[in-house]
Amino acid sequence: MSSQAIDITEGFLQPILDEKGLELVDIEYVKEGSNWFLRVYIDKEGGVDITECGDVSELLSEKLDEADPIKEAYFLEVSSPGVERPLKTRADFENNLNKNVVIKLYEPIDGEKTYEGILQSFTDDVITIAYKVKTRNQQVTIPFEKVAKARLAVAF
């Protein structure tokens, strides 16, 4: 049911976001303890505020209540993806060049399954990251299809 819930939600959500000039970052439908959560992450250049999240939540809730596509009880949450926004699509990588990222891989490259560094390029489905090992600058190239999870990361 979870992928169906996500697809249905996206169908209702996209026209709302298009009208408001917002971008869909991610949708999750997950069970935590005994509760189900439908989480929607939205964004725009410069970020979204609580009023925009509330407006989208209200409009989406009306659509979901009318159609009633999700039979179990759930909590709807609409929020910003935050500073550690997930990177899921090719466009996400193209739009976040020169930012600090963390990438987890399905299988190791050079003996590592996690890399954190600066996203230098995304060309022909290959990601290039610059990172440091102690004081030495390194680079790794990662095929897009080997990425299990990726997100922006706050650098300290």
The secondary structure of 95-111 as a DSSP string is TTTTSEEEEEEEEEETT
156 pLDDT band (50/70/90 cuts)? Answer: low
User: Which residues face 129 on adjacent strands?
Assistant: 119, 140
Domains of the chain: 2-79 (3.30.300.70), 90-152 (2.30.30.180)
Strand bridging mode 35-43 / 74-79: parallel
Q: How many CA atoms lie within 13 A of 76 on its CB side?
A: 19
Q: For 66-107, how does the pLDDT look when each residue is reduced to its tens digit (9 = 90+)? A: 988 888 899 999 999 888 888 989 989 998 999 999 999 999
Is pTM beyond 0.85 here?
A: no
Q: Is the pLDDT of residue 19 over 90?
A: yes
Separation of alpha carbons 81 and 41, rounded Å: 5
| Mean pLDDT, rounded, for 17-41 | 93
CA–CA separation, 27 and 143 (whole Å) = 24
Which one has a higher pLDDT value, 61 or 155?
61
